[in-house]
Each structure stands twice: as C-alpha cells, then as structure tokens.
Amino acid sequence: MDYKEALNFIHSRPRLRKKPSLDRMTTFLSRLGNPQNDVTGIHIAGTNGKGSTVAFLERLLEKHDLKVGTFTSPFIVRFNERIQINRQPISDQDLVELVERIQPIVEQMDAEAIGGPLEFEIDTAMMFLYFKEHPVDVALIEVGIGGLFDSTNVFTPILSVITNIGWDHMEILGDTIPKIAEQKAGIIKPTVPVVTGSTDPEALKVIQKVASDSGSTLKTFKADFSISKSTDQQITFKNYDVIWDGLEASLFGEYQLTNLAVALESLTMVSSILKLRLDVNRIKSAVKTTKWAGRMEMVSSHPLVYLDGAHNLPGIEALHQTIQTNWGHQKVYIITAVLDDKLYQPMLNNLVELPNVELTLTSFTGPSKRQAVTPDEINSQLLKEVEYISNWRDAIQLAGSKMQAGDVLIITGSLYFISEVRPFFVK
C-alpha cells in the first residue's frame, strides 16, 4: 500500500450512520489493544474555537518543554496535519503502516452486525495508536462533531475543555441550544476538571449541571477567569491565582481573545495536574508565536487579504464583530462559499448588514456529497445584496481590481473552501 492508497481507503469509508453510538468505536479500539488507555490527553469540544485553542495550548505547553500531540480537523494542506507531535505532522510512512494494520480489522467488522468503522473513527483510532507508540507528555484531542457520541469520547482525559456553544450541526446535535450543549457537555467525565469559554446562559446552565452531577470542578469564562486588551493592544489575563499582563497575540480577530483565555486557564489547570512550573516569559513567547492556518490568517499585506474559516453562524458573527472593531470605516470586500447544510441565510444576512461590506458568493469543490450554496437557494431579497461569481479565482481577481489603498479583502466560509483557496496565496 502506498500513501495515496492509504488516503483513498480512509476517505472511502462512510461519514455518518443514523443511530449515534460509541459501541462500534469501543469494539474497534478493543481489537487494536485499547491504545486510548495509554494516552494522557486533554479533550476539547465546542462549536467554534477548538482549533485556535489547541494551537495556543500546544505552543504554551511546548514552550514549557513538554512533548505535545495534537489531533485536529479538518486539515488545511495535507491530511497528515491532523495528527502531529510538536507541530510535526505524522509521516507518510507511519500513516501507511497504521492503515495497513487497521484495514484487516475494518474489513472484519464490515462483515459483522456491528458494522465497520466510519471515516472519523478510523482517523481517531490511528491517532490513539500513534500517540501510544510515539509517547507524548500530553495529547490535545479535538472533538469532531458534538461530544457525547463523538468517536474521540472513549478515553478519560486529565482536563475537559468546551470552547463555546452555538448553532451548528443541528441535524445531528439538536435544534435548541440546551440540546446542543448537552451533546458538547457529554465529554465531561467523573471528577475530571472542566474549563469553558461558553457564555450563553442556556448552554452554561447545562454545562454547570453536567459538571456538578459528575463531581467535576468547573472554571467558566468571565466568572472564574477573564481577559482584556488595552488600546495599545497589550493583553491581560486574570484568574484567582495569577495576573499575566503584557501579552501580545499573533492570532488576529476579537474572538481569539476568548480562545486565548480558555487556553491560558487550561494551562493553569494542567500545570497543577502535571506539576508544571509556569514561566511568564515562556507564556509571553508562546502567545506571540502561535499560528493557526486559515483563521484570520493574513496572506497578503499589499493588498490586505485575510483567510478566515468562519464556517457556521457563530463564526460569521465573530467575523462581523472583528470587522466592526478593526475596519468599521474601511471598505471590506468579502468572498464566501458556504456549504448548503449550514444556516447560510442568516450567515449571509449577518455580513450584508455591515454597511462597508461588499459581499460576493462563490463556489468550490465541496467534500463528498456536500455542496456549496448557490443563488437558487437564497431568497430574492438577500440576492439583491449579494453578487455571485461561480469561480472563486475570478471573484478574487475582480475584488483585487476594485480595491484601493486601505481596503481589505476577507475570504471566508467553509474550511474546505479555505483549504482550496490557501495555496493560491501561500506557496
């Protein structure tokens, strides 16, 4: 088997089944020797901000001389990015070897009543095997969808993190914020401490109840820890034990402050668990050097161009705030492609509400059977406010021809779209 064949095997697996269950995943891992039991990890769920929180926390821990594994999704450039140790992706050879070991078990389960593993279940099993056989001090394991029935929810972490909770994947997670929160809070384990950046009252009520019922200490944003930024862009983090000021973040966007706060609070919790002595200078260095591709990533300075994977309504609302805060008096061109299983109508409405924004809808090659929204799916009133250019390269070229000094171009929407566009700017 070569690398391409290994990826084809992974991507050929079904993505979803109707009945949510962890039975298939636990059976799969059992036949692989339960590698998840040998991994010390932090479990991270949330509607948005998981990847950025992982990026901050990985850098913070690495700066304190820890060997840190990360498991994230989706990838931006290559599949291997999903499984990394100290920001070094799994090698092609290691990936192929893992698939070769897993394939016979998958085929065996395909022939049984329980059914064979899904695509993300295979990704997750590979990750646990890799971190067992390439031991790390701590693995940062990001949930795929939800939490309660996510394939990553098969191990006991040292800390559970819930970034925020908003509208996304309602067909799977539920049609109310409390239902979605219940799924996210499903990662909370008995007596394992929890950190959350969620401030939605309904969501927070659910998280508090699950944490209380589990005997888990809960630290909540604004109540137990906070973050602020001064006019000179200096950041201050506070909790009951520390005050760290003079921080500077390289990740742009107002919403990144909350993600940073969650990561710093998580760091203080982990330092107690792992007996880690924290150094404020290392913390400052980590925060300043954290990068995360495709999240308010500046890919051109002349003209000013950002890529931002605001792939759902909470992401677009955060982008809206960032534009208001930073470019309220500048012309902002936005090119977006949104998958049609998202809340695309309110997402697009949210952007056209900004008086200084010129919005262009485009398309791209969506993953599997999922498609980007087309003008036929948008109501006539909104359609008057949006231009449609099917080829995103043409849309970029047109926006570039219109831009003047001080204007901003933001390319946003599905992370799969960002993955397709990014090589156009980053060679």
Decide if 43 contacts 160 (C-beta within 8 A): yes
d(CA 308, CA 217): 34
Q: Cβ(311)–Cβ(336) under 8 Å?
A: no
Give the tokens for residue 112: 């049984």
Is there a contact between 236 and 245 (Cβ–Cβ < 8 Å)? Answer: yes
Q: pLDDT value at position 392?
A: 95
Contact (CB, 8 A) for 51 and 72: yes
Reported as a single tens digit per residue, the pLDDT across 352-397 is: 999 999 999 999 886 666 688 888 888 877 878 899 999 999 999 9
Instruction: Quote the pLDDT of residue 427.
Output: 76
Q: Provide the pLDDT for residue 171.
A: 64
> Tokens 């799977």 sit at which residue?
172
Amino acid at 401: S
Regions of the chain short of the pLDDT cut 70: 167-174, 366-370
- Please state, in angstroms and as integers, the Cα–Cα distance from residue 78 to each residue in 7, 329, 404, following that order: 10, 37, 34
User: What local confidence, expressed as pLDDT, does residue 288 receive?
Assistant: 94
Q: For residue 367, what pLDDT is reported?
A: 62
Determine the pLDDT at residue 407. 95
pLDDT of residue 30: 97
